[in-house]
Amino acid sequence: MSAKHHPTPLSGGDRKALKKELGKARAKTTILSEQSAEVRAKGEALIRQADRLLSESWNERMWADGEPTDPSPTVDQAINGGYPWLEIACSRRRTERDVDLAALPHPPTTFVHDLASRLRCSKCAKAGRRPPATLLQLSQRPRHPSSET
């Protein structure tokens, strides 16, 4: 976008007034863009905090109820809230594993509780069985040494 053209006034006083007003407008633009960046950063921090609280709340409901509860955070909310790992257990063998939510080939708007029917134990799959996984909780870091879905 090209700069706006302001016709130069003929009188010296009007030229000085125009120069002063243009300087004020440029200064105001700088102030407003800085305020916009600050508010945007605060908003992103608040969204991150809300996503963290949602993930913690879902973990507490999972612990209290013992089963996946609806509503759960979406995959991108869990990752944004600092909970990028999902702890699961094979419903047949009871072995626990960690799943990296960012590495899943599912859309980020998928709810975490919807992943229970999609995640499978790889050892059972090799044996020809496909029992669904049991969701345990979201975590901030992996707790089990090997990670498989």
- Cα 103 to Cα 21, 51, 99, 107, distances in angstroms: 54, 19, 8, 11
pLDDT in tens, 47-94: 999 999 999 999 998 888 877 677 889 999 999 999 999 998 887 777
CA distance 111 to 108: 8
pTM (2 d.p.): 0.72
111, 56, 90, 93: CA torsion to nearest 10: -170
pLDDT in tens, 2-60: 677 777 776 778 888 888 988 999 999 999 999 999 999 999 999 999 999 999 999 99
